[in-house]
Structure 1
Amino acid sequence: MSSTHDQFTVHFWGVRGSIASPGAETVRYGGNTSCVEMRVGSKRLIFDGGTGLRMLGNALMSQLPAEAYLFFTHSHWDHIQGFPFFVPAFVRGNRFHIHGSIAPNGSTIEQRLNDQMLHPNFPVPLQVMGADLKFYDLEIGETIQIDDISVETALLNHPGEAVGYRVNWRQYAAAYITDTEHFPDRLDENVMRLARNADVMIYDATYTDEEYHSKTSSKVGWGHSTWQEAIKVAKAANVKRLVIFHHDPMHNDDFLDRVGEQAAQSFANCIMAREGLSVQLVAPSNDESSEPASDAASKVSV
């Protein structure tokens, strides 16, 4: 009997960085901030709770009761602003396991999500959420086990710290590496460890090299990387497919089209993240289009 639990699918609900950027010039790639869903075996993993989390939550309302594992890279606003609007969290009977590291100031992910919903910032406190919310303080560098899924963590190079993740299931792996700045003289060993031989690597490529090194408005020290650096990592780590992610709010659809064309010339298996994009490492076994492992990472749909 076929089972939809035999799957490893990555779905993009928010692909922007810094601030949501809706409008006529961002329609094709989307304007919501970071939120990536992974359906791995029978589990649902969610990475970051930017404004894209609201869209994911709306979709989940037709699939209740819902259970998911949330992993936050850090708590800058573009990665948590969707959480107060995550409707399933207000519904009793749902359960969410929420993971995040302790910030340099000592605050937990629970405290930070709570604080953004306090007056005068927000009218409804976190305690109104009726779902079963379980919070976990992860230690950066540890591996989290969820049944037969292992989630590796590593410290990223970002102001105030951020966590990178790698999801391993069977012989497949997907790396989620956003809000990190490359080093000028070497590849980041933490990034390389997360990216090693990954079927899919999602990487923070907020800027171009020209923007990053601009003499008039340098982005050095801002905590983000470039698509050119993403390709260096992908090649060095033997990544099968690279997804350019965390688009700058100033980059409109036409600009991102050009970035995608240039990136693909340097790394053929490179795609631009956009809202609605799905990448299947393993298609559900009741899907007649399921592909063998050797082709799995090349199956992409929007």
Structure 2
Amino acid sequence: MGEWRDMTAEALEDQYSPSRWSSRLGRETIIQAHIATMAAATQRARASVQTALHVPYGDGDREKLDVYFPPDPSETFPVLVYIHGGYWQCLSKEESGFAAPPLVSQGVGVVAVGYDIAPKGHMDAMVLQVRRSIAFLVERYSRIRGVYLCGHSAGAHLAAMVLSTDWTEYGVVPDIKGAVLVSGVYDLEPLLHTYVNDELNMSREVAQRNSPMQCIAPAASVAVTCEVLVAVAQQDSPEFRRQSQEYGQALRAAGWSVSMLDLAGVDHFDIIERLSEESYILTQELVLQLQAARD
């Protein structure tokens, strides 16, 4: 713990710049390629799957959900809620439906969550929005049987914050059966010293109260049993890999059921892009978890 405090500012910037660690593409091109890949796959999903797009869960411009229904939505079905990354300052639900086709074919609903990104959105508000979206979802769609969270990068952070929610404030307790957290950030304090905070403008207090590492609820206090899968890419930076390892260990120490998955041959970007592939190991893990919800 705390090694990041000994790093130079330049080293810390490097560690929290995922585009510098991929062996596939250059730093300037990989992010644009990632956005294009996700957007194209989302368009394909919208063209092939029954959807309800832009469903408002609040009054804000981005407070909307895209719902991708399984072939027979008259039956009860588990739902995967996908929370996009983009360092809380880019991407949207418009690039977040890419994983729907292989999942809906297995009888799973997929929901892509929109939320306000920086500079309009600030960290407290983003966490609140995602929590509200989950409460709205389970109230609106009574046929949902089991909620699974999946978040990538900043989205993994937001999904982890959902796990620490006190649902008494929301008048509903979602049946969150699992969470797949992919290449996430679980301690925001190191980001205060990097370019990432230029738009977010977090104080130390904001970073601490919105750090999943700082607000892990004992598993015994959680209303439902939740399986957590913490996944990280071989080509994630050492800091991203450390954060995943330490968060997984902290959850386990608090009594949560945790699996760790270290995926070889992928970087920070294609670790999530490949969820559009039926044969991809992470897709298969999700299908297994989601099918278990129906058994």
User: What range describes the TM-score normalised by the shorter chain of this pair?
Assistant: 0.3 to 0.5
TM-score, normalised by the number of residues in structure 1: 0.38
TM-score, normalised by the number of residues in structure 2: 0.39
